[in-house]
């Protein structure tokens, strides 16, 4: 069934809310009152519930099936966390209430910070970044501020070739020039190349570990030592922290700064693209530069430092309004408390176990570019599709018709036609077995030359393949009313 | 499973981890707890806060307590929305894509702009991105900020600017004097950033400023921190704004101590390829049926890496959905009606508070928030009123501690959620505290 | 995608909850502790969320589309009501807490009772019945108790031919014998026949008004006068009260007792078959017999009478545990407060308008047995299918493939192959137009002889037509583990 | 729309209503209000109650405060479940039908019976229906009720029996003496009804009674008002029960002041066609695929009208769904583990309360609830403890006001939700009140 746009519905003069009459009071708007209609449709509440319910049914989600997007960590989102975030004591407090009236909220921030610091071994954490990329921005700013405080001008940042696109984008947003560090044949950073690139102009090196090939950087200590010896800082992209949480502390690997995607490792929902939260843990050398606000212990409980003064004199400034993503903090803390120190270890173990099970199950049918074991995700390239006429994209779309969301495609860039599969710890063996079986069958069909089937896929979805090229060439980014002229002609 | 993999234990899978960094014992953190216990512990923390809805409460300054219809929270919790990812696979995420397209349309309509993106983190970061975008459009790097810009938005913009090598010229905040921003625009200026209603609550016509900026090749960025105001006042698009950066929390989203909120971002058609953030576009599928996809991704970091328009990878999806649903429920009549009630409540409140001896409302105009001058430091008054069970508003000194000339000023907001009885309580207690 | 039963899932030793360890304490269970396994599967929380989410997607619901089940009143269920029912002050109170600690709950019962009394014009209401049929039981018991109190033995109940099946079943459950009252050619009760049936052995007459043909009983006053003259009581089935709420008070029609389905007229959700709530309004003559408990105004606020003594001496007893369906009361009261006296009138007007619009739209294509206007539902018979080979059932199933839930079929029994359509007030004209269009097209296809298409329908559903006969012949009412013998043999 | 219908006004559609009964003006009731106002008014009423979870609380007597996982309420609110009707059209309601089949299986498993229906209103009405069913099966009409049956269940059964012309023989309630129900069974007796654990909390083996009943051609009906107990004690099916009537609220459903709850009803295969209520059965569709339908509807009122097994038309669908989800989450380990914690908490509580001077626990055995004899009227003690912020339990006199010999008895329950601190508070305050 087709679902029209809200703006295309029968709507004459309806309203889905019932507002009280305004009291009589003087109009003090001044001379800038709105004139003319906005153009919003008026639709009844039942129709709106139905509209969005039907739209929701056009979505795939963790709640409907496996979502094996490598590097995105689509794990189960416990409903307890949702319930906790909606307690009036968290959801209905204003960010600028007197601090005496929000001590519990500040305690949540403080407790979450404590968990993050212990789990990473780092002495400080900046809580306000709103998402992973925002956390990267925060981390790179802290690095820049630290160099500036030392009177150093270092303008170059080395970024691993396999890095998420946000890494170079972030470095550029902070005014750095970016240089790629190549990968070696084992899918890790090429240590010799890195050493050659390091120098007095390098402010930082940005790596992901486990990296985006799903591999642990075996020479991580050698890397961090080299970075430090060169006077640079080691930024670790924390997107894959879920592979080692409770098992390995980034501080013990020589990491100076790392963001943590609460929506990946700590299960806050992805929400169709946000909101996220990206707290950043900082080594002692970078801690003084953490952005405002800071939550600190004071005489009368928690206090909030909102200006660059006192202990926060070197703070790098402010990254967003208010205190950060409180709603996400509550969810993440609920997750941590539910799992505990023991449960979080188990998370990492199960995530790695599941990924290796997929790798083992598929390595004979697909082609794995690097030797295992992998960490939380299994990487394949498209050599198994060679000469079949079928592409990575085709496989992904065919998977949709089998009832599964595709894996991450064409990333990381270091292998050709990448297929990056991350099952996460919350999937059962039965689900993985079914997924492996389907992929094996698809690989066989590709070998058998069923190109047409692949090209046509998906066929069982609300829409078939969409024309992205024309969408970008002639962008239609909003609904517009039909031209009055045309309406009149009809 | 271990047999299938061919290892003796799960630990063996971690063999690439350096021994020195491997931790065999759990960390020094509490062990796992059941739902019941977690719920109990978090409920205890929640109980240490005073919910704004539990007492007469008049805080604004960029975050507003509005009534969110129950339908909104019901729908956003549907697993198909809440537990879905960024819609990279459009065939199985038409639900997310269609509502974002509807969101973009709603934002464009209420701001009076051509086009909007699929949301940003919040109003403050959207403002910072607006300045960066103006720099890209004009190939300049000097921005003029109004003193009426929300201090958090200004600070966020300044922080971004500092690291990106952008010059910021910021006017001083002043609750009464009109500032001459046109005089600060030179031919290196990429944009001038104003807020409407401004931080002190005043409503302004920026048409002349737009003309002045355009004359110098600069853009006008209009910031809106209370989006409900657009139901009652002239939208930025009609004043010549080139970019609108706004906070959308008021529609559909609870206060939640300041986050997650939802940044709105709109611009003119001609600048769309310089716009940061996700965009959903209309297209057709292989059968020729209308559908939606993420588009213009060549602006984005996963394609252009260090050349991207911004490093932003996430929007505020679920908050944008809440916005879209609430706005749909309101519609034309509801949105303008909501604005009307907000203004009427604020006007009534101003009347009641003005009658308290020693209190002056400074605004010549306002929407649902205004600035009062008190005979003593506003922070002290607010603290005293907590003792009387009233959350009285935001002392300007909370955001401008370093400006003694503002220390007696109190920002007070009223929305549809404030009853007349609440207002009377506030006025009476204020009188008591000031006595 | 097929969804296995919970019992068929991979489950070795898992558990979807995390319980605290029990404290050390003496075992005082005695000698009857459970031995041996129960046989419940153990499944993780993520798998369970997915299982039930997927099951939900196999359901049609008001939230997904029009649900025009005549006599069932499937209207929009506002989410505000759900939110209110979940306030801790309502959801987390024990029914036997000291009354001083539940004054707000008793106030809800009292306020809802007030609304019901004013809307029906009746002086009393029994709140405890758990559903419509339970309310009928309550009403018929009150009638029997009243006759007994007068020393009369009247054992016969007259029930309209068109009545819901619950009416005769209820009368029988109270020990009455049942006699049907025929309908006349206008679809109303045959007054002359009724008068002839009335006599000193008749305890009550049970009618529905508007009746199940969707028609208002034009001679309702004459009927009630005759019933009263014969010393009997008039039981009105309130299932269709939504057609006249706010417009007509049953008391003004001579009704002595009527149940009210809160899930029909007052929008509490049907929930896939319950829970409902069926308060019963009572005339003064029957009020003393209302079942326990009674909520009454006392010196210190509300009191609860739980025994047949004092004011409640004649109470007919108890119909269920505790106080009735509190959760439903809160929802219904929220609905009433939202609509108000003015909004409830509008509900009736819009419901009747929508039904007549459907009647007008379809009367030339389908066959309407009685002349309009109808009230809240439009009745058709199957004459329009004569000689087509297509049945009412076929039409209903074909409607499913067009994206609509079928109407009520083969009820009421007074017309052949009935199709009873109730759109309710919450549907928009656009939806009704689409529904009318689809039914017109189906009628045309039936006339064109497309029998095969009808017989095959539905084809787009998770299941096609199900074999109800074999289900009843060899009932399989629960999952059972496979026989060990068979497992061993495999 | 009026034009299409051909009438001048909506009122004209009501022309069949007698003039005298037509009301042109709104009734004397308040006008409509917005969500905000309704929410405010109802929240005010809610605030006049003391939620059991807000204080140490030990009430049971047929309704128990358990922890319900957040997942349960999340799923039952999905519109596809909540706003669906009775699954008369199985092709588009396989969701409802499958969970009801799973529910029936779970109920059969935990009670140890062959087969269960798709739920009833509550435990009390299920008990009344069990007696009616026993009458149909045996073609007799005399039922013997244990004094240990919950008084509400007894009263409900008596009320139904009175109007259906059934004789009830009820033993007196006694918290300590064992009753000889076998002696009350004669050859007119259709059934004997017992509860386990009984109203006073005692756990009994009814195997001998089953044999005695069967010997006289009567059925044994076993009632369970705290279903969690079946995780720890011998199920009725293993004691020879013919019918089980139970209250399922404890699994998945909040207290809600006593309703809606969910009645469970199970029996032996051979009696299934005399069983009241909805039933879901397995079958195949036109393509031979497994599916589910409502079945054996020839027992029901919409087919058999006055000959139906009962007049019941509704089950407690959504509450049954909550039960099914919670039970699925628990599974074997969780359900038995939950029972274990409940018993341990109650045992610990009994120990603490027994140490209060003047207090005696009367039970020789119990699950999560027991009866204490106090040195003064229990109702007074409970009322006094309200003043100390403790909801102490249910005075037996609340349910048996007419039996002075029970007036010092207090029923006390503990579940997994009671902390040891709560128990200590209770014991301390009780001691204070009794001093």
Instruction: Provide the domain limits for residue A296.
Output: 80-335
Chain D interface with A: residues with Cβ < 8 Å: 32-37, 69-71, 73-74, 79-80
**Phi and psi at residue B314, to the nearest 5°:** -110, 150
Query: Could you tell me the CA-to-CA distances from C480 to A238, C15, C47 in Å, in that order?
Result: 48, 21, 21
- Judged by DSSP in three states, B114 sits in coil
Please tell me the distance from the alpha carbon of residue D182 to that of residue D91, in angstroms, as a whole number.
49
| B24-28: long-range pairs with CB below 8 Å, 24+ | B26/A246, B26/A340, B26/A341, B26/A342, B26/A345, B27/A118, B27/A119, B27/A246, B27/A341, B27/A344, B28/A118, B28/A341
Residue C296 pairs in a beta bridge with C303
By the 8 A CB rule, do D282 and C478 touch?
Answer: no
Largest CA distance in chain C: 78
Query: Could you tell me the CA-to-CA distances from C433 to C374, C441, C465, D245 in Å, in that order?
Result: 18, 12, 27, 48
Question: Per the structure, how many domains does chain C have?
Answer: 3
Q: What is the DSSP letter of B312?
A: -
- Judged by DSSP in three states, A106 sits in helix
Closest chain C CA to residue D283: C471
Judgement on whether residues C245 and C386 belong to the same structural domain of the protein: no
Residue labelled with tokens 């949709």: A400
- Is residue A95 domain-resident? yes
Please tell me the distance from the alpha carbon of residue A454 to that of residue A393, in angstroms, as a whole number.
9
Task: Give residue limits of the domains in chain D.
Answer: 52-68+332-434, 70-326
Judgement on whether residues A164 and A242 belong to the same structural domain of the protein: yes
pLDDT at C350: 96
Q: Which of B306, B364, B392 to mutate to test the interface with A (most CBs of A within 10 A)?
A: B306
CA angle in degrees (0–180, nearest 5) for B293-B296-B297: 85
pLDDT at C486: 44
Please tell me the distance from the alpha carbon of residue B210 to that of residue B203, in angstroms, as a whole number.
15
Closest chain C CA to residue D331: C42
Kindly state the average pLDDT of the residues A132-151: 96
Q: Is the pLDDT of residue A490 over 50?
A: no
Q: How far is A50 from chain C (nearest CA, A)?
A: 5
Query: Could you tell me the CA-to-CA distances from D325 to A66, A342, D78, D87, D252 in Å, in that order?
Result: 21, 27, 13, 19, 7
Q: Is the pLDDT of residue A485 over 60?
A: no
Among B36, B79, B80, beta carbon nearest to C20: B36
DSSP state letters, A213-251 = TS---TTHHHHHHHHHHTT-EEEEEGGGGGGTTTTB-GG
Judgement on whether residues A242 and A316 belong to the same structural domain of the protein: yes
Judgement on whether residues C131 and C259 belong to the same structural domain of the protein: yes
Judgement on whether residues C326 and C371 belong to the same structural domain of the protein: no
Judgement on whether residues A354 and A261 belong to the same structural domain of the protein: no
> pLDDT-based confidence at A427, cuts 50/70/90?
very high
- H or E element in which residue D207 lies: helix D207-215
> pLDDT-based confidence at A488, cuts 50/70/90?
very low
Strands A294-298 and A301-305: antiparallel
Kindly state the average pLDDT of the residues B203-228: 98
- Express each pLDDT in D228-262 by its tens digit: 999 999 999 999 999 999 999 999 999 999 999 99
Please tell me the distance from the alpha carbon of residue A167 to that of residue A208, in angstroms, as a whole number.
9
Asked if the B55-68+332-434 domain carries CATH number 3.90.1150.10, the reply is yes
Q: What is this model's ipTM?
A: 0.96
Among A20, A79, A82, beta carbon nearest to D36: A20
pLDDT at D75: 98
- Express each pLDDT in B90-143 by its tens digit: 999 999 999 999 999 999 999 999 999 999 999 999 999 999 999 999 999 999
pLDDT at C327: 98
- Is residue A346 domain-resident? yes
Please tell me the distance from the alpha carbon of residue C363 to that of residue C197, in angstroms, as a whole number.
35
Q: Which of C335, C356, C384 finishes a domain? A: C335
Strands D189-195 and D142-145: parallel
Look up residue B266 and give its two tokens: 């709109």
> pLDDT-based confidence at B169, cuts 50/70/90?
very high
Among A49, A62, A79, beta carbon nearest to C76: A49
Judged by CB atoms closer than 8 Å, whether chains meet at B70 and D35 is answered as yes
Please tell me the distance from the alpha carbon of residue A279 to that of residue A296, in angstroms, as a whole number.
16
Query: Nearest-CA neighbor of C65 among A46, B289, D389?
Result: A46
pLDDT at C279: 98
By the 8 A CB rule, do A72 and B270 touch?
Answer: no
- Is residue C46 domain-resident? yes
Kindly state the average pLDDT of the residues B46-68: 97
Judgement on whether residues C4 and C93 belong to the same structural domain of the protein: no
- Is residue C141 domain-resident? yes
Residue C53: list chain B partners with CB under 8 A: 79-80
Judged by CB atoms closer than 8 Å, whether chains meet at D10 and C349 is answered as yes
Please tell me the distance from the alpha carbon of residue C379 to that of residue C363, in angstroms, as a whole number.
10
By the 8 A CB rule, do A424 and A407 touch?
Answer: no
- Judged by DSSP in three states, C367 sits in strand
Query: Nearest-CA neighbor of A88 among B238, C462, C333, C88?
Result: C88
Among B36, B39, B67, beta carbon nearest to D35: B67
Instruction: Give the neighbours of chain B: at least 3 Cβ pairs within 8 Å.
Output: A, C, D
- Is residue A272 domain-resident? yes
Judged by CB atoms closer than 8 Å, whether chains meet at A467 and B122 is answered as no
CATH of the domain at C128: 3.40.640.10
Judgement on whether residues A216 and A320 belong to the same structural domain of the protein: yes
Look up residue A72 and give its two tokens: 């995105």
Query: Could you tell me the CA-to-CA distances from B96 to A262, B251, B293, B318, D28 in Å, in that order?
Result: 21, 18, 10, 9, 46
Q: Do domains D52-68+332-434 and D70-326 have the same CATH topology?
A: no
Judgement on whether residues C401 and C466 belong to the same structural domain of the protein: yes
Residue C91: list chain A partners with CB under 8 A: none
Number of neighbours of residue D307 by Cβ within 10 angstroms: 13
Going from the first residue of chain C to its last (490 residues), give the mean pLDDT of each consecutive group of 10, the final group possibly shorter.
Answer: 86 81 94 93 95 97 96 96 98 98 98 98 98 96 97 95 92 94 95 97 97 96 98 97 97 98 96 96 98 95 94 96 97 98 96 97 96 95 96 97 96 95 95 97 96 95 94 94 53
Query: Nearest-CA neighbor of B78 among B49, B99, B108?
Result: B99
Residue B416: list chain D partners with CB under 8 A: 36
- Judged by DSSP in three states, B267 sits in strand
- Is residue C26 domain-resident? no
Please tell me the distance from the alpha carbon of residue C432 to that of residue C409, in angstroms, as a whole number.
19
- Judged by DSSP in three states, A237 sits in strand
CA angle in degrees (0–180, nearest 5) for B80-B81-B87: 100
Residue A319: list chain B partners with CB under 8 A: 125, 156, 159
Please tell me the distance from the alpha carbon of residue A24 to that of residue C360, in angstroms, as a whole number.
45
By the 8 A CB rule, do D84 and C59 touch?
Answer: yes
Among B155, B301, B399, beta carbon nearest to A165: B301
The CATH number of D52-68+332-434, from 3.50.50.60, 3.90.1150.10, 3.40.920.10, 3.30.1330.10, is 3.90.1150.10
Q: Quick one: CATH architecture of D70-326? A: 3-Layer(aba) Sandwich (3.40)
Show which of residues 45-64 on chain C sit within 8 Å of chain A, judged by CB atoms: 45-47, 49-50, 53-54, 57, 62-64
Strands B280-284 and B290-294: antiparallel
Query: Nearest-CA neighbor of A93 among B416, B249, B54, B418?
Result: B54
Q: How far is C489 from chain D (nearest CA, A)?
A: 24
By the 8 A CB rule, do C276 and C262 touch?
Answer: yes
Q: List Cβ neighbours of B316 (8 Å cut-off, separation of 6 or more).
A: A274, A275, B119, B120, B121, B122, B260, B261, B262, B263
pLDDT at C157: 97
Q: Which of A296, A320, A335 finishes a domain? A: A335
Among A18, A54, A429, beta carbon nearest to C10: A429
By the 8 A CB rule, do D39 and C80 touch?
Answer: yes
Judgement on whether residues C325 and C416 belong to the same structural domain of the protein: no
Residue labelled with tokens 């922070």: B379
Among C18, C49, C83, beta carbon nearest to B35: C18
Number of neighbours of residue D373 by Cβ within 10 angstroms: 17
Strands C280-282 and C124-126: antiparallel
pLDDT at C483: 63
By the 8 A CB rule, do B327 and B165 touch?
Answer: no
Judgement on whether residues C241 and C93 belong to the same structural domain of the protein: yes
Query: Nearest-CA neighbor of C324 among C300, C295, C344, C351?
Result: C295
Judgement on whether residues C325 and C374 belong to the same structural domain of the protein: no
Closest chain D CA to residue B69: D35
Q: How far is C30 from chain B (nearest CA, A)?
A: 28
Q: Is the pLDDT of residue D405 over 60?
A: yes
- The radius of gyration computed from the CA coordinates of chain A, to the nearest angstrom, equals 25
Please tell me the distance from the alpha carbon of residue A355 to that of residue A261, in angstroms, as a whole number.
20
Residue labelled with tokens 């049918």: A365
Q: Is the pLDDT of residue B308 over 90?
A: no
Q: Is the pLDDT of residue A2 over 70?
A: yes
- Is residue C466 domain-resident? yes
Q: How far is C81 from chain B (nearest CA, A)?
A: 9
Beta strand spans in A240-394 (E): 257-259, 280-282, 294-298, 301-305, 378-380
Q: Give the 3-state secondary structure percentages of chain C, helix then strand then coil, rounded to 5.
A: 40, 10, 45
Q: Report how many helices (DSSP H) and strands (DSSP E) chain D contains, helices first.
A: 13, 13
- Is residue A46 domain-resident? no
């Amino acid at each position: 069934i087709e679902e029209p746009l809200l703006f295309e519905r029968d709507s004459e003069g309806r309203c889905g809310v019932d507002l009280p009459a305004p009291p009589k009071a003087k109009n003090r708007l001044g001379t800038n009152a709105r004139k003319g209609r906005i153009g919003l449709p008026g639709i009844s509440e039942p129709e709106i519930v139905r509209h969005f319910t039907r739209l929701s049914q056009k979505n795939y989600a963790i709640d409907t099936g496996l979502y094996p997007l490598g590097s995105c960590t689509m794990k189960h989102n416990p409903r307890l966390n949702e319930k906790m975030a909606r307690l009036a004591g968290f959801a209905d407090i204003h960010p600028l209430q007197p601090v005496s009236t929000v001590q519990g909220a500040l305690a949540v921030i403080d407790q979450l910070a404590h968990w993050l610091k212990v789990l990473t071994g780092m002495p400080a954490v900046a809580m306000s970044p709103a998402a992973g990329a925002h956390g990267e921005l925060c981390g790179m700013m802290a690095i820049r501020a630290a160099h500036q405080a030392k009177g150093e001008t270092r303008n170059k940042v080395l970024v691993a070739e396999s890095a998420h696109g946000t890494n170079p984008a972030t470095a550029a947003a902070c005014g750095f020039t970016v240089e790629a560090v190549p990968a070696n044949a084992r899918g890790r950073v090429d240590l010799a190349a890195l050493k050659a690139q390091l120098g007095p102009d390098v402010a930082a090196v940005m790596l992901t570990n486990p990296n985006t090939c799903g591999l642990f950087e075996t020479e991580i200590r050698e890397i961090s030592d080299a970075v430090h010896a060169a006077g640079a800082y080691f930024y670790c992209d924390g997107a894959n922290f879920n592979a080692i949480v409770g098992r390995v502390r980034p501080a013990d690997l020589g990491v100076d700064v790392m963001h943590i995607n609460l929506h990946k490792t700590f299960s806050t929902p992805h929400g169709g693209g946000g909101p996220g939260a990206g707290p950043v843990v900082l080594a002692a050398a970078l801690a003084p530069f953490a952005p405002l606000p800071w939550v600190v212990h004071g005489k009368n409980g928690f206090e909030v430092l909102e200006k660059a003064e006192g202990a926060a004199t070197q703070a790098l400034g402010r990254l967003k309004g208010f205190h950060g993503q409180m709603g996400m903090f509550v969810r993440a803390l609920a997750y941590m408390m539910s799992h505990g120190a023991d449960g979080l270890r188990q998370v990492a173990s199960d995530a790695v176990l599941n990924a290796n099970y997929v790798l083992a199950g598929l390595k004979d049918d697909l082609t794995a570019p690097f030797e295992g074991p992998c960490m939380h995700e299994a990487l394949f390239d498209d050599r198994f599709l060679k000469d079949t006429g079928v592409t990575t994209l085709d496989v992904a779309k065919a998977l949709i018709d089998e009832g599964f969301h595709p894996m991450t495609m064409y990333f990381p860039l270091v292998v050709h036609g990448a297929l990056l599969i991350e099952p996460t710890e919350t999937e059962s063996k039965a689900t993985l077995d079914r997924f492996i079986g389907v992929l094996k069958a698809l690989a066989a069909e590709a070998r058998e030359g069923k190109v047409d089937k692949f090209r046509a896929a998906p066929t069982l979805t609300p829409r078939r393949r969409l024309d992205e090229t024309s969408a970008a060439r002639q962008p239609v980014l909003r609904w517009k009313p039909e031209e009055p002229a045309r309406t009149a002609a009809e | 499973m271990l047999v299938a993999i061919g290892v003796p234990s799960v630990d063996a899978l971690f063999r690439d981890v350096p021994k020195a960094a491997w931790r065999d014992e759990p960390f020094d953190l509490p062990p796992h707890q059941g739902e019941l216990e977690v719920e109990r512990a978090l409920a205890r923390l929640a109980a240490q806060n005073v919910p704004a809805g539990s007492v007469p409460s008049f805080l604004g300054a960029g975050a507003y307590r509005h009534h969110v219809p129950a339908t909104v929270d019901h729908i956003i919790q549907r697993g198909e929305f809440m537990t879905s990812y960024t819609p990279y696979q459009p065939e199985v995420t038409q639900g997310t894509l269609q509502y974002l397209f509807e969101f973009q349309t709603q934002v464009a309509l209420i701001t009076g702009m051509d086009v909007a993106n699929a949301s940003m983190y919040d109003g403050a970061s959207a403002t910072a991105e607006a300045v960066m975008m103006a720099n890209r459009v004009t190939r300049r790097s000097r921005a003029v900020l109004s003193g009426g810009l929300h201090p958090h938005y200004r600070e966020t913009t300044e922080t971004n600017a500092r690291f990106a090598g952008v010059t910021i010229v910021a006017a001083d905040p002043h609750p009464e004097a009109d500032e001459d921003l046109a005089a600060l625009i030179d031919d290196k200026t990429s944009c001038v950033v104003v807020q409407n209603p401004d931080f002190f609550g005043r409503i302004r016509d920026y048409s002349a400023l737009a003309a002045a900026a355009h004359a110098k090749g600069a853009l006008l960025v209009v910031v809106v921190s209370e989006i409900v105001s657009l139901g009652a006042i002239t939208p930025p698009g009609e004043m010549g704004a080139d970019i609108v950066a706004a906070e959308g929390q008021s529609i559909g989203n609870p206060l939640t101590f300041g986050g997650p909120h939802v940044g709105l971002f709109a611009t003119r058609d001609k600048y769309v390829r310089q716009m940061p953030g996700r965009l959903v576009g209309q297209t057709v599928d292989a059968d020729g049926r209308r559908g939606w996809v993420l588009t213009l991704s060549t602006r984005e970091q996963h394609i252009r890496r260090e050349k991207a328009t911004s490093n932003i990878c996430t929007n505020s999806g679920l908050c944008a959905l809440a916005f879209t649903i609430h706005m749909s429920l309101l519609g034309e009549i509801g949105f303008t009606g909501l604005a009307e009630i907000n203004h009427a409540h604020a006007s009534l409140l101003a009347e009641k508070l003005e009658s308290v001896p020693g209190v002056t409302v400074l605004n010549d105009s306002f929407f649902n928030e205004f600035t009062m001058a008190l005979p003593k430091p506003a922070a002290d008054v607010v603290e005293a009123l907590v003792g009387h069970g009233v959350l009285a508003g935001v002392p300007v000194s909370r955001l401008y501690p370093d400006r003694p000339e503002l220390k007696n000023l109190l920002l007070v907001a009223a929305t549809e959620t404030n009853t007349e009885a609440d207002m009377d309580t506030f006025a009476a207690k204020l009188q008591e505290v000031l006595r």
